[in-house]
Structure formats: C-alpha cells, structure tokens
C-alpha cells in the first residue's frame, strides 16, 4: 500500500462560543505540550494527586473517589450508570433534553427497569414532581441533569437531591456543563455520583470526565451481585490507580491530565465562587445585547443557564447560513440546536475563559452584521 | 471550602523505555498545543478524515470503519468486545499473558460463554492449537493478542487468522503494541476487528485507541438482537460521526486527535515497512548488548517482540532498586514485570521514536553502571 502524505495541521484560532469545546487558556495548551512522564512515575502521580485535590474542591466534596475518567463527558455518564445500576433495578430518569434522553438509553443498556418523568424542553423539574415520581415508581436510583446543554436550562438541585437522599434513593447528577460555571455542592446537597466534562466551563480540551462517588454509592457498588458490565469504567478496578495503591489499571492519558491540572489550577487561583459569579455577570451583559437585537431566549428567565444561552432563531433567518458566516467571516463558532431544538435554536456558550466582556462584544458585533 | 493552590507543573524530560507511554516527537507535542477547533468544524473534520486515511494505511486495510476510539488502548479492547459479542455467544480466548487474561474477564462481562486455551507465559500459539480449540468449542469469536506487552512475545497471526476466517468464525486481535512496530496486514490476514493504542509504537501520548472493523464484523453487529451494552463505545452510533454523516455522538478529543495526526504523519513519511524494520534493527543491537551484560530474554529467540524486550532479572539483583536508580540517577524509565512476571522480569521498550541507536546506548550504559 502506498503511504499517504499529508502536511502538518495548522488550525486557525477561532472564538469557540458553541456548546463546547470552549477555548482554553494559553497555559493549558502549553501544559499539554510538556514532556511525557510514565503513568506510574512518582512525579506524575503527584500531578494526579493535585488534580484530585482540585477536583474535590470544584465539586464541593471530600469524596476520596474523585478522579478524571479517561474519556469525554459521555464516558462520565457511562461510568456513573454502569457502576451504580445493577440489572433489574428501577431507575427514574428526569428527561427534559438530549442528555436526559441519553440517560434513558444508557440505563436500558444497563438492564435497568427505566421509568421516566418528562418536562417540555426549556423547563425544569420541581421538587414535588420528583417526590411524586419517587412515591409512584419506587426507584433505587434517580438521575437528573444539572445544566441541560441542549436547552440551556439550569435545574435547581439542592432540594431535589435532599429529598432523593431522604427517600433512601441514590442520585446521579450530570454536571457536564455546570462544573465550574454554576454553584455545585456535592456533599452539602448529598449527591451520590456527579460527573462532568473538561471541555465546558473548565476550559480544558475534551477528553476527560471528572467524576465523584459518595461512600454510600461506593458501598452499593462494592456489594453488587453482578460484575460491572464495563471493565474500562469499573470503579472497583480504577480505584487501585486513583487510590492509595497506585497500581496499573489502564495507561492514564498523561498529556490530557497535564492540561486538566493547569485548567483546574487557574480556576483555583480565581476561586470557584468568583468563577461562577463571572459566568453570571457576562451572561447578563450578553443577554441584554441579544435582546436588544430582538433575540428571544427559549427557557424562562428564572431557569436560564448563564454559560449556555439558548435563543430562538428569528423567523425568516436561515440557521446554517448565519452560523457558516459567523465561522468563516468572523472566526466565531456558535452551536445549532439539538433534538427538538434542531433548526429552531442557537446555543451560545460563554464558558470558562470565554466568559469575558470581550468575547461578548465580539460576538454581538458579528451577529449584528450577520443578521 | 478553601481553594487549593498549586504551582504549574514542570515535568522533567525522561527517556521512556518501559511498556508505554513511549516518548513522542517534538512536533507531536507541538501539535497538541495548537488552537482548539470545534469538533464539528469543517477544518477539524478534514483532520479527522486524514487521521482515518493514515490509520487504514497502518492497519493495512480498506475498512471504512477505522477510527480512533476516545479512550486508551483498553477502551479499544472494550469497543471490540462489546460490539462483536452478543450475550450467550461462545468466545474462545487465547491466553498467554496479562492482556489475554483481561480478554477473559471482559468477555465474561459481555455475557459470553468463555472458553480458553492457555500457553505458558513467554510462549505463543500454533495454528494447530487454535484449530483444535475451534473444533472443540465451536466458538463464534476467537480473540488473540498480537504483541503481548506483559511477556514480550510476538504471536504469528497470518495462518491463525486465515484458519479462523475459513472456519466462519470472527477474529478480534489486540494490536496495542504491534501497530507501527510489527508487520500487520488486517485485510490480507482477514482480521475482523483489530484495536490498538497510541502510546506505544505510534509515539503519541496515551488517550486514543485506533480500531478497525471489517464489513463482515459490521454486518454481524448491525444484525444484533440485543443493544450493545455500551453507549459510549457503540460503533453503530459512533459511525455517524466517523462516517459520512459527521453528526454529533460525543465531543471528539480534539487536541489528542491533533497529536495523533502528527504522529501518524511522521510514520507515513518514513513508511510503515521502514518503521517496522527500524524497530527490528534497534532491537537486535539492544539484544546483543543486553546479552553481553549477561541478561537473558524470557521468550524464546524466534518469538521475541522487538519493541518490548522482556528479560529476566538476574539472581540477587533487586528489581525496584535498579529501576529507581535508573529513573532518578539517569532519567530512564524501564518497566517491571506484570502478573506472573512481577518481580521476575524487566520490560524494556524500544517503541516509536525511542527505537534508535542513541536510546539503546544510553540505556545500556546506565544499566551497566547500575547492575
């Protein structure tokens, strides 16, 4: 076979204001390019230790078992589900967007009896609705999305997770788009398993999925009657690497962990509360500008997710033409709609380092010229 | 919670001559640090296209469904198994090391009826042994490791895969340590699924698992009666991203794919046959030097894996003391033994860019001083 010949890649820097990946700080890119260490080298294990300390801080937890899964955010969802669910158990999925739907699919693949409560896209669940569904279906596990990237809503969780816990039920929470961008207190809210992704508010390239397990969840997993259906995501095995033993499970993605270390370090320097406040502040500036351009948010004001702005595409405007012009003429990426919102919504991310006034003005100016 | 404060990481460059990760070329590190693009950006999709073309060349295949799984080499194994195996099917695993054992574990988690043939560590299977086991167990699938990283043996595959195919059985081949370092012809040898990792002979950081599926395998998967137990690894879904549609499944690990593009590009420049020959040549130089130091290879001469040299630790020599001195005094990492070979073997990798005369001399000089 003849060997194919290609040139070195030369990606042009763009402003990534879609649903992720977001741009990353220059020092994160620099970290990715640092010399490789072995995944069992003591100097690398110290870096892993620090990553775990910083992830605990961001999640608001003292859970020992807090680590980056070697896969993207979706791998975090799969890790949570395959470990916590045993075949035949009843799982209640709260579905109000693409990621709730994915949970239904995944819970089925884990052999769960899946019950669902649904809300129209753009709306959130009330504690009472979840409480009633728990009474009705008597699930072992409830799963819910904190920040629905497909609809741009922020689900209030404090009360809901407290009542799940009080019912003796386990909670799985998708925090892919909320970690670092919205208030999240895993221990205080009594969340059992929360997972995230690196490519949203953490401003690290996609490829890792931070996750945290409560002791209660680990205890359930330790007492499983059946093996976890995944070897790669089995927390019983992975704990031997991320726990005290530090023994081989799979080869850790060294360079990505370097990048995550730096991305987390920057958030720790800022402080997570300040980082969340910044996401809120820049969202409000963007919202005012978008509304002055006549654009309307799809979710109600009180549940809007600051870091992911879902706005209706105005009548008579062609979705793809606008997004293509923004990308090619202005070097700005915004997201189209997913699922029910395909062709109806734009999703504008203000995540991580992109949550700043300069990104907002640049996008608004470009949108004004394009519309 | 008080925010933890850490310094930027500053890993010192080391010579990684263990079982992986191996060192990577400077241009691969540089590629990792290039500006992020969106995972659906046409310029990024062109990069993905080129990666797929180069992977096909390396695997020696025209299989359309050839792509990097978003996880490490072990995720490649899991992708092969969860897709190809349906619960209740008989799988024959050829076990002669750690990775064969992992296959037994994983096939069990997929609900397979697992039969095993085993060989003492350091030995390989003959075509006749596999043929007899197929007659005896009548499996639907046979899995075998091409290059056993735990024992340093290279399993001859051409005849074995041909007879598996001729029996109407499907083959899964672990090529984690062989891709780019040993001859491998997926189409010519009629392999159904082969998976690999990026951190061995490809000299790209760990984090991706190249995989290829034959049309025959895809056809089996398309006609499954049960859903694939993994959502993340389900090739039916992932094909929508890596195939013509290019639609969203999970967010591709953009920076890692940049790195893989560059690593593959360098191999394509050299030509895969030349690259394989280079691995062989430098192995022979190393072997001569190690033997002159009185070190003995664990596998028999005719099955030694050039890129991973498993040698017996001499009597009276302490494994950990030597490896620690090599690492701290010389900045050289070599691997210890795994499983049955723990404490008994060193595993010396000459993989990817590290397969050169300079690495060999540096290691041999350091070993001489240390022993």
- What is the CATH T-level fold of the domain A26-268, as seen in this structure? 3.40.640
Q: Which helix (H) or strand (E) holds B114?
A: strand B113-118
Per CB-CB distance under 8 Å, the chain A contacts of B252 are 72, 206
What is the model's pLDDT at position A143?
98
d(CA B214, CA B231): 21
What is the model's pLDDT at position B1?
79
SS3 content of chain B, % helix, strand, coil (to 5): 45, 15, 40
d(CA B52, CA B178): 18
Chain B, window 325-364: residues with a beta carbon less than 8 angstroms from a chain A beta carbon: 327, 333, 338
Interaxial angle between packed helices A127-137 and A158-166, expressed in degrees from 0 to 180 and rounded to the nearest 10: 20
Contact in structure between B235 and B195 (CB atoms under 8 Å):
no
DSSP letter at A353? Answer: G
What is the model's pLDDT at position A244?
84
What is the model's pLDDT at position B104?
98
Chain B, window 153-212: residues with a beta carbon less than 8 angstroms from a chain A beta carbon: 197, 199, 205-207
d(CA B240, CA B220): 18
Q: Which helix (H) or strand (E) holds B309?
A: strand B308-312
Per CB-CB distance under 8 Å, the chain B contacts of A52 are none
CB-based burial label for B244 (10 Å; 0-12, 13-18, 19+): exposed
In Å, what is the CA distance from A326 to each residue of A52, A317, A348, B303?
38, 14, 12, 57
What is the model's pLDDT at position A220?
98
Contact in structure between B67 and B55 (CB atoms under 8 Å):
yes
| Other beta carbons less than 10 A from residue A170's beta carbon | 23
What is the model's pLDDT at position B230?
98
Across the A:B interface, residue pairs with CB atoms under 8 Å apart total: 263
A122 in the Ramachandran plot: left (φ > 0), alpha (ψ -120 to 50) or beta?
A: left
Please name the residue of chain A whose CA is at the shortest distance from the CA of residue B106.
Answer: A231
Shortest distance between the Cα of B291 and any Cα of chain A, in A, equals 26
Can you list the alpha helix ranges (DSSP code H) found in A89-199?
Answer: 98-109, 127-137, 158-166
Shortest distance between the Cα of A209 and any Cα of chain B, in A, equals 11
Shortest distance between the Cα of B166 and any Cα of chain A, in A, equals 25
CB-based burial label for B167 (10 Å; 0-12, 13-18, 19+): middle
Chain A, window 243-272: residues with a beta carbon less than 8 angstroms from a chain B beta carbon: 248-256, 258-259, 261-262, 265, 268-269, 271-272
| Interchain pair A268, B4: CB under 8 A | yes
Query: For A4, which of B12, B53, B228 is closest by C-beta distance?
Result: B53
**Domain B15-21+272-370 class?**
alpha beta
d(CA B371, CA B4): 42
Query: For A207, which of B31, B82, B256 is closest by C-beta distance?
Result: B256
Chain B, window 66-85: residues with a beta carbon less than 8 angstroms from a chain A beta carbon: 70-75, 77-78, 82
d(CA B183, CA B155): 11
What are the φ/ψ torsions at residue B346 (nearest 5 degrees)?
Answer: -110, 145
Shortest distance between the Cα of A327 and any Cα of chain B, in A, equals 9
What is the model's pLDDT at position B125?
98
Contact in structure between A308 and A351 (CB atoms under 8 Å):
yes
- Please, which residues bridge with residue B31 across strands? none
Per CB-CB distance under 8 Å, the chain B contacts of A8 are 27, 31, 262, 265
- Which residues does chain B have with pLDDT short of 70? none
A227 to chain B, any CB pair closer than 8 A? The answer is: yes
Interaxial angle between packed helices B215-222 and B73-84, expressed in degrees from 0 to 180 and rounded to the nearest 10: 60
- Residue appearing with tokens 């095993």: B116
Per-domain boundaries in chain A: 15-21+271-370, 26-268
Q: Which helix (H) or strand (E) holds A289?
A: helix A272-292
Characterize the bridge pairing of strands B141-145 and B170-174: parallel
From first to last of its 371 residues, what are the pLDDT tens digits of chain A? 799 999 999 999 999 999 999 999 999 999 999 999 999 999 999 999 999 999 999 999 999 999 999 999 999 999 999 999 999 999 999 999 999 999 999 999 999 999 999 999 999 999 999 999 999 999 999 999 999 999 999 999 999 999 999 999 999 999 999 999 999 999 999 999 999 999 999 999 999 999 999 999 999 999 999 999 999 999 999 999 998 888 899 999 999 999 999 999 999 999 999 999 999 999 999 999 999 999 999 999 999 999 999 999 999 999 999 999 999 999 999 999 998 899 999 999 999 999 999 999 999 999 999 99
Interaxial angle between packed helices B357-370 and B319-330, expressed in degrees from 0 to 180 and rounded to the nearest 10: 120
What is the model's pLDDT at position B255?
98
A316-320 long-range CB contacts below 8 Å, 24 or more apart?
A317/A371, A319/A343, A319/A346
Please name the residue of chain B whose CA is at the shortest distance from the CA of residue A77.
Answer: B232
| Interchain pair B262, A3: CB under 8 A | no
- Compute the residue count for chain A: 371
| Interchain pair A227, B109: CB under 8 A | yes
What is the model's pLDDT at position A245?
86
Full strand arrangement of the beta sheet holding B170-174: B66-69, B209-213, B193-195, B170-174, B141-145, B90-95, B113-118
Please name the residue of chain A whose CA is at the shortest distance from the CA of residue B275.
Answer: A3
- What is the CATH T-level fold of the domain A15-21+271-370, as seen in this structure? 3.90.1150
């Amino acid at each position: 076979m003849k060997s194919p010949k290609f040139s070195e890649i030369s990606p042009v820097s763009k402003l990534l204001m879609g649903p992720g990946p977001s741009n990353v700080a220059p020092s994160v890119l620099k970290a990715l390019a640092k010399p490789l260490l072995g995944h069992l080298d003591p100097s690398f294990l110290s870096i892993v230790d620090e990553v775990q300390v910083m992830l605990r801080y961001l999640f608001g937890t003292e859970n020992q078992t807090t680590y980056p899964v070697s896969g993207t955010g979706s791998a975090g969802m799969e890790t949570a589900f395959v470990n916590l669910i045993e075949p035949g158990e009843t799982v209640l999925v709260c579905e109000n967007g693409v990621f709730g739907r994915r949970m239904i699919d995944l819970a089925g693949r884990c052999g769960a009896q899946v019950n669902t409560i649904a809300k129209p896209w753009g709306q959130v669940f009330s504690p009472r609705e979840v409480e009633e569904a728990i009474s009705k279906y008597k699930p072992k596990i409830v799963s819910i999305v904190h920040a629905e990237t497909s609809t741009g809503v922020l689900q209030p969780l404090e009360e809901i997770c407290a009542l799940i816990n009080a019912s003796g039920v386990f909670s799985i929470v998708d925090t892919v788009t909320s970690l670092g961008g919205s208030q999240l207190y895993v221990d205080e809210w009594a969340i059992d398993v929360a997972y995230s992704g690196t490519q949203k508010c953490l401003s690290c390239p996609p490829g890792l999925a931070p996750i945290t397990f409560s002791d209660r969840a680990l205890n359930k997993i330790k007492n499983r009657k059946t093996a976890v259906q995944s070897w790669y995501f089995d927390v019983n095995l992975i704990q031997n690497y991320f726990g005290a033993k530090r023994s081989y499970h799979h080869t850790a993605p060294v360079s990505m962990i370097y990048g995550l270390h730096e991305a987390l370090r920057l958030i720790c320097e800022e402080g997570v509360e300040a980082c969340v406040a910044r996401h809120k502040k820049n969202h409000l500036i963007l919202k005012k500008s978008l509304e002055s351009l006549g654009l309307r948010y799809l979710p109600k004001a009180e549940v809007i997710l600051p870091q992911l702005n879902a706005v209706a595409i105005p009548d008579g405007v062609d979705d793809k033409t606008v997004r293509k012009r923004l990308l090619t003429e202005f070097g700005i990426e915004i997201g189209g709609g997913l699922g029910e919102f395909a062709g109806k919504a734009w999703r504008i991310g203000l995540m991580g380092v992109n949550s700043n006034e300069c990104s907002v003005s640049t996008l608004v100016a470009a949108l004004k010229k394009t519309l």
